[in-house]
Amino acid sequence: MADTTNLSDPSDAEGATKAVDAPQRHRTEPIPGTLTEISGYPKKLKIYKLEASPYWWVRTFHNGKVYRRSTKTEVKRDATIFARSFYDQVISGRVMAPQREKDVVTFAKVAAAMMKSKKAQAARGDLTDMTYKIMDYRLKKTILPALGSREIASIHFEDMEELLNDLSHQNLTGSTINGYMKTAKSVFTYAYKCRDIPSVPHFPSVDADHQPRGYFTKQEYRRMCDRAEELIGSRFEYRKLMNDKGEEQLGQLFAEGDTKDGRLIRKTTITQELLDLIIFATNSYVRPTDIKNLQHKHVTVVREEHIYLRLNPPETKGHNEPFVTMEKAVEIYERLTAHNKKLGRPTGPEAYVFFPNYETRDYALKELERQFAVLMWDLNYGKGPNGEQRTIYSLRHTCFMFRLMYGEKIDHVTLARNGRTSPEMIDRHYASHLRGEDNIEMLQSRRPKKKAAAKKGAKGQ
């Protein structure tokens, strides 16, 4: 059984259980190994690549100052030609010298001033706490690493298009990308009001789609659980085959032993954790980030009139309030903890709930994502009926949909607060799936007549 789904292709990291102690490089710093000198020019002239941009950059020193600029090309040869021209312009004085740091109005400085103003608005009640937190999150996560050190007056349309391209490769929805771009634009608007820039640069347009989230029906959910249990211990291979021209194609999944063709990229073994993930996530509203970071100290088992887990994982998307699960999540949590203990894995307060044997938490989540991708391929569930992509995130969406479809008298505000989201998101991305037929009992219900109710009450006296 072969599939041409474009799965992620990072190489398997041996020793992923070891913690990485080296400090992370900033996205605007040169990537080691890419710094290249220009033949025939002084060694101080170099081109390099950085994580914050797809283009080559040029850097040189002159009169004790550093000059940098994007070459606006991904082709190394063209970047070399640009670097030579840039150097000649710097030496001849045709490129303005960088301002002293205290005179430079950077994007980060304007953003900090704007967020200070936004915080005051939130304190006055002119802005919701949630809006402030979302803006702060988006700035710190992506926008500041890409633009923070830049002089705001030097940022133009092509730079914003570069940011948009970067966001487009982060598996975000159109509406989320649009939110990031609006946050960036608000910084420029604030700078314009403060007379730091003469005008707000043009921004590339973003189609803010409102496509409903992909989720699984009750029948699909049951089939997923059954199949995940059946596949425990099975191994699969991700290989890259060659076409007739000898060119390597997109990766494909195969059951182990089905073929020896192509280049083996990695092997994936289905484990008990996949089944537990499916049931736990569909009964707990967790995001993939919560799964990655959830430790036992974040979990409280409550056994009172109702049985549930109270979860308080680290803040995600500006939300840090505890939330509760369905009763089924308690059973899975206790089963998973017993499973880890049996394997000799840590289960103390600081231990992680899923794959506590992996200290590198990104790798732990990647392992779950790979197993889930195999299951989607095996069941042909990778896309929903409307073409929406189904990932681990779809389990959270399924949790919301099951509450909306099968819960009694569920209101959007309560559901949103417990799911660490907003009522608007519930209405736009989850309730949009609902058909009248899904809640036919509610639509056909009738209030009791007042006279009948009064007569019934009199008889009971």
Q: Tell me the pLDDT of the chain (461 aa) as tens digits.
A: 444 333 433 334 333 433 344 455 566 788 888 999 999 899 899 999 988 778 899 999 888 788 888 888 888 999 999 999 899 888 887 766 665 544 578 999 999 999 999 999 988 888 888 789 899 999 998 999 989 888 888 888 888 988 988 888 877 777 788 889 999 999 999 999 998 888 898 898 876 555 556 789 999 999 999 999 999 999 999 998 988 888 888 889 999 999 999 889 899 999 999 999 999 999 999 999 899 999 999 999 999 999 999 999 987 766 678 999 999 999 999 999 999 999 999 999 999 999 999 999 989 999 999 999 999 999 999 888 877 888 999 999 999 989 888 887 777 888 888 888 888 777 766 665 555 455 555 544 566 665 555 555 555 54
Q: How far apart are CA 220 and CA 212, in angstroms?
A: 18
CB contact at 8 A, 7 and 30: no
Tell me the β-bridge partners of 49: 56
Name the residue ranges covered by the structural domains of the chain.
36-98, 102-193, 219-441
CATH classification (class only), 219-441: mainly alpha
CB contact at 8 A, 334 and 342: no
CA dist list (Å): 217 to 85, 134, 221, 421, 437: 60, 31, 6, 22, 15
Q: Pick one of 3.40.50.300, 1.10.150.130, 2.60.40.420, 3.40.50.620 as the CATH number of 102-193.
A: 1.10.150.130
Q: How far apart are CA 214 and CA 103, in angstroms?
A: 49
Q: How far apart are CA 335 and CA 312, in angstroms?
A: 20
Cβ burial of 123 (10 Å; 0-12, 13-18, 19+) is exposed
CB contact at 8 A, 179 and 142: no
The number of CA neighbours under 13 Å toward the Cβ of 188 is: 22
Neighbours of 278 (CB within 10 A): 23
Give the model's pLDDT for residue 419. Answer: 85
Give the model's pLDDT for residue 101. Answer: 47
